[in-house]
A and B are shown apart, each in its own frame.
Chain A
């Protein structure tokens, strides 16, 4: 970009000074509270660091241990499962809902949009505590509905059972993550060039064809954006896990994010926790690079 606009040296200098002057306030926070800790994180990951003791340099030992740690690998798997399951479902579900509600008359569309957005504004802690109650083994309404309709034979300990806990977490995560995509899709669908749709309908295209051939390409940028934010979102579901299961039962809901916290404040293994952070950061950087590539190639 710079190359295309030949600029004098003085101008470059002026622009640089002005540029950094404008960047300065933001840079202080960004470098101070994101980049610097990140560097610290990488650095400490080569140490055996714990509470109230000099850190001991151990090279790559933390990383070596990481890939032999069954719990970490389990947490890695759970993290990937959460992302892989929740991201597509969120996207497809919100696209379906939006495609139905976007042209509803009057109040209906915005009322639906509003309701689906409610769990987002309610806040993760309030959402977590009410779901904890609803999933409760003894007084929860899920067990009540399940047993009284005969769907389940006896009470299920949803959050205390290895087979269901992760699924429950994902379900809650889904309810808190479709709000924004629905808002986005509704507006994207409303902005689809209506003349193209009408022309296709005149040509006898089915509704499905109409959607797939005309609308879908036009809402593609929105889809990509939704993919990115949903991925970020599902990587950050810490509160649900900390409040509902603490990673249990039997580590079945451990995610890397929770396991870092667990290592830091239950096992006092700071260096090890940092090594995990580095691995997670690399994973996420690769994923975002991939998504940006996709966004550019569209």
Chain B
């Protein structure tokens, strides 16, 4: 009993001492060496000066780096990523990579707190809307110019290249894969409701008018919830935007990506239409991920947040027991503009050149190594951003989805103020769902978003 008390006292004393030592400002003595546990590395910008002196001469070797991935296909699955990293370590045994897996609900908050906590990851796998428009624009990311060699520029598709650089032409992302986000319908339910006549299965397109008829038919057939304009958060929000923009040919921003145009008459008309449709709810309690799950378990008959990897993963996990029919978003003109996803790597500037070099080595290996690149892309279940040959040879599912790539529209998610704008977007949908007048809500959104863009 007594012993324990003394122990406890000693412990608190030791802690107090270490704290006071810390309060007395770091000196070399209390400066930790790079910790063996990589996620614990404490290389903050303000301490890098101390560490620079004994830095090993050989860069790109012997470094501990962290990779944080969003669930981009199987890049969110630890078994897959472990295998990819094993490949990397076979080539570069001295670079140790620790992975953390983020989700689309809280991932941004997590990175943002980590940035404030001086523990931003070294590499992030995500798209330009975060890497370029958000963290890049805030000066947190490393310029990847030396990865974007002339060869790389020649090989990578121009539209992708443009999305990966800021307005000043600085590259903050090195892309790996891309896709066109589609929607999907539950073919079984549609067939039972006699709604298949309204869509072109071959081309995967339908008109706005037929979309209305189809939803109505499914609703009349007893499916109370046909689909949902989900808006509890940002997860999968490109789906709601694509739906609304396509219905009457509206756009989300102007062509120069400097201003938000969600208040155009086309968009307002689309929102009014959705609001009035039977079977379509504005649901503020779910986000894109929930919608996908609920589509898979048959609660919804259509999903607005969909792409190839959704079907592949859910089918593999045995979540789907019906025929999924991927579709482009309905349009009046028959010329859908699908929202693209472009995923790739960005590097946070943590002030440690050795880590940055190691991170670049990692990216170069994952995206450019002849054998590895195919595997890296395949892990995402999306398409490469340059010509790698037909990597999905014989894969029926991927061939089915390939037909949507030509419908890819403008990649607008690089507008300044993107983080604020997407927050305002789901708030706007919630407002509309709660009964606020559509034009008033849209007007408010555009004002907020444009203010953020002008900053």
Contact = CB atoms under 8 A, between A and B. Distances in A.
Nearest to A266: B423
Contacts of B426: 248
Contacts of B138: 50-53, 268
A250 B419 contact: no
Interface in A40-63: 50-53
Contact of A265 (B112, B299, B427, B436): B112
A28 interface: yes
Contacts, number: 87
Contact of B286 (A53, A160, A266, A267): A160
Contacts of B419: 266-268
B109 A251 contact: no
A25 B140 CA distance: 38
Contacts of B430: 162, 248-250
Interface stretch (B16-24, B64-72, B260-268, B374-382): B16-24
Interface string B412-438: 000000011001001100110110100
B233 interface: yes
A30 to B, nearest CB: 12
A32 interface: yes
A250 B140 contact: no
Interface string A165-205: 00000000000000000000000000000000000000000
Given A138-B299, A160-B283, A265-B113, A249 B434 contact: yes
B323 interface: no
Contacts of B20: 28
B115 interface: yes
A267 B112 CA distance: 10
Given A32-B23, A52-B138, A138-B294, A160 B232 contact: yes
Contact of B225 (A136, A138, A248): A138
B285 A159 contact: yes
A266 B109 contact: yes
Given A160-B286, A249-B284, A51 B115 contact: yes
A266 B109 CA distance: 7
A158 B419 CA distance: 28
Interface centre among A24, A28, A157, A250 (most CB of B within 10 A): A250
Interface string B15-50: 010011001000000000000000000000000000
Contacts of B420: 267
B159 interface: no
B291 to A, nearest CB: 11
A137 interface: yes
A245 B23 CA distance: 40
A248 B424 CA distance: 12
A246 to B, nearest CB: 6
B285 A160 contact: yes
Contacts of A137: 283, 285-286
Contacts of B23: 32
Contacts of A267: 419-420, 423
Interface string A18-29: 000000110010
B281 interface: yes
B255 interface: no
A137 B426 CA distance: 19
B140 A52 contact: yes
B313 interface: no
A32 B19 contact: yes
A250 B284 contact: yes
Contacts of A159: 284-285
A144 to B, nearest CB: 14
A248 B232 contact: yes
Contact of B12 (A25, A51, A158, A246): A25
Contacts of A249: 231-232, 284-285, 430, 433-434
Contacts of B12: 25
Interface in A238-288: 245-246, 248-252, 264-268
A161 interface: yes
Nearest to B286: A160
B139 interface: yes
B230 to A, nearest CB: 9
Contacts of A32: 19, 23
A250 B427 contact: yes
Given A51-B115, A266-B108, A248 B284 contact: yes
Contacts of A52: 115, 138-140
B53 interface: no
Contacts of A136: 285
Contacts of A51: 112, 115-116, 138, 140
A245 B233 CA distance: 9
A253 to B, nearest CB: 10
A268 to B, nearest CB: 7
Contacts of A246: 232-233
Contacts of A266: 108-109, 112, 419, 423
B222 to A, nearest CB: 14
Interface in B263-312: 281, 283-286, 294, 299
A176 to B, nearest CB: 21
Contacts of A158: 285
Contacts of B225: 138
Contact of A250 (B112, B233, B423, B436): B436
Given A51-B138, A266-B109, A267-B423, A250 B19 contact: no
Chain A CB within 10 Å — which of B139, B286, B299, B423 has the most? B286
Given A249-B232, A267-B420, 9 more contacts: A28-B20, A32-B19, A52-B138, A52-B139, A157-B283, A159-B284, A250-B436, A264-B112, A266-B112
Interface of A: 24-25, 28, 32, 50-53, 136-138, 157-162, 245-246, 248-252, 264-268
15 contacts: A28-B20, A32-B23, A50-B138, A51-B115, A136-B285, A138-B225, A160-B283, A249-B433, A250-B434, A250-B436, A252-B434, A265-B113, A266-B109, A267-B420, A268-B138
List 5 tightest A-B contacts by C-beta distance, closest first: A160-B285, A249-B284, A160-B284, A249-B430, A162-B434
Interface of B: 12, 16, 19-20, 23, 108-109, 112-113, 115-116, 138-140, 225, 231-233, 281, 283-286, 294, 299, 419-420, 423, 426-427, 430-431, 433-434, 436
